[in-house]
Amino acid sequence: MIKVLIVDDSASVRLFLQEILTADPGIEVVGSAGDGEEALEAVAQLRPDVITMDVHLPRMNGLVATRRLMETFPTPIVIVSASLDAEEVATTFHALQAGAVAAVARPAGPGYTEHAAEVKNFVLTVKLMAEVKVVRRWSLFSRELTRPAPDLPVTAPIPAKIRAVAIGASAGGPLVIQTILAGLPHGFPVPLLIVQHMAPGFVAGFVEWLNLTSRLPVRLASHGELLQPGHAYVAPDGCHLEVTAGNRANLRNVTPVNGLCPSVSALFRSVAMVYDKEAIGVLLTGMGNDGAWELRVMRELGAVTIIQDQESSVIYGMPGEALKLKAASHILPPAGIIDLLKRLIMEKTA
């Protein structure tokens, strides 16, 4: 049984979420809390496997509670957002920065047409995040984001020209992507294409949050637009982000790949076909194997391929699968990824 603690200042919402979760035979709601201070006490007593957390709480808000919990009783925390307004959603990413592992919209009530689908996604997210092994304080994990590390010996020649950087991530990815974009300089001479798995409705807020710290403009990709150097393009909800031979974005709302849309595999496959060896593929923390095989294809074509190291990853599923396939020419923490991108791209175009 997965033991869940529900944290929300509304008694009716706590009851609603409890009914949804306990309908799954594999979940037990062991308690609830109405504010951050109650949450700290409940976690110390009940030791849940996963926590659902509202951000807007009295006495101690969800951001502070998340940070305190990750420093005292590290536990997977899923932020539950009541609104999908871009500005409101952007605040949930501050909770991810504080240590939460995922964010999801609160399911609509039974009278809404999307109720069943949203409940299914909510329950699945809670169950998957309960598997995350949060074994160290978040403050220590955060230091991993800036820890430099030597890279692997390069077994293939470095391409004389790089035309694009493709990045894929899932659980734990938002903070790493933020770190990378904040570390790249103004005038970065190639476009970056990003697929980040997240719950529907959160990607606009994700882009808004990234723009707070990124030195490069970050935007949702639009179908057919010309990819500009020094810009970062994020795949929108429900569309695969690909590139065309004319260096333009191509959005396709088609069958999911690996059960996902957008899919990292679709992006990497497209980049491999269009840019061949003149590209860099980066696979970050996340559950599953999306993008792993296609990263190997990129490496076989002569592209530079990078995976995030295990120590700095929240979940080592995707990069771990790529490692098994020998798809990586470099294994690095986020600071090392930044340094390598600058060295490979900025120096070649100086």
Catalytic residue among 9, 32, 197, 265: 197
Q: What is the CATH number of the domain that holds 166?
A: 3.40.50.180
Band of residue 137 on the pLDDT scale cut at 50, 70, 90: very low
Q: What are phi and psi of 63, to 5 degrees?
A: -65, -50
Domain that holds residue 345: 147-349
Helices 334-341 and 173-183: crossing angle in degrees, nearest 10, is 40
Q: What are phi and psi of 339, to 5 degrees?
A: -60, -45
Q: Which residues touch 5 (CB under 8 Å, ≥6 apart)?
A: 29, 30, 31, 32, 33, 39, 42, 43, 46, 48, 50, 51, 52
Among 123, 141, 159, give the residue marking a domain's end.
Answer: 141
Q: What is the mean pLDDT of residues 265-287?
A: 96
Q: What is the CATH number of the domain that holds 63?
A: 3.40.50.2300
The total domain count for the chain is 2
115 is catalytic: no
Catalytic residue among 9, 32, 81, 170: 170
Catalytic residue among 8, 49, 290, 309: 290
pTM across the whole model: 0.89
Is residue 217 a contact partner of residue 191, using CB atoms and an 8 Å limit?
no
Band of residue 206 on the pLDDT scale cut at 50, 70, 90: very high
The verdict on 118 and 195 lying in the same domain is: no
278 pLDDT more than 50: yes
Band of residue 145 on the pLDDT scale cut at 50, 70, 90: low
343 pLDDT more than 70: yes
pLDDT at 147: 63
The verdict on 216 and 261 lying in the same domain is: yes
The verdict on 19 and 58 lying in the same domain is: yes
Among 91, 111, 141, give the residue marking a domain's end.
Answer: 141
pLDDT at 142: 57
Q: What is the mean pLDDT of residues 99-109?
A: 89
The verdict on 215 and 166 lying in the same domain is: yes
Is residue 312 a contact partner of residue 144, using CB atoms and an 8 Å limit?
yes
In terms of phi and psi (left: phi > 0; alpha: psi -120 to 50; beta: otherwise), the region of 259 is left
150-181: per-residue pLDDT in tens?
A: 554 544 566 778 999 999 999 889 999 999 99
Separation of alpha carbons 265 and 170, rounded Å: 12
The verdict on 58 and 113 lying in the same domain is: yes
Separation of alpha carbons 131 and 123, rounded Å: 13
Per-residue tokens: 331: 């294994």
Lowest mean pLDDT among 80-84, 166-170, 178-182, 243-247: 80-84
The verdict on 200 and 288 lying in the same domain is: yes
313 is catalytic: no
39-56: per-residue pLDDT in tens?
A: 999 999 999 999 999 998
The verdict on 243 and 226 lying in the same domain is: yes
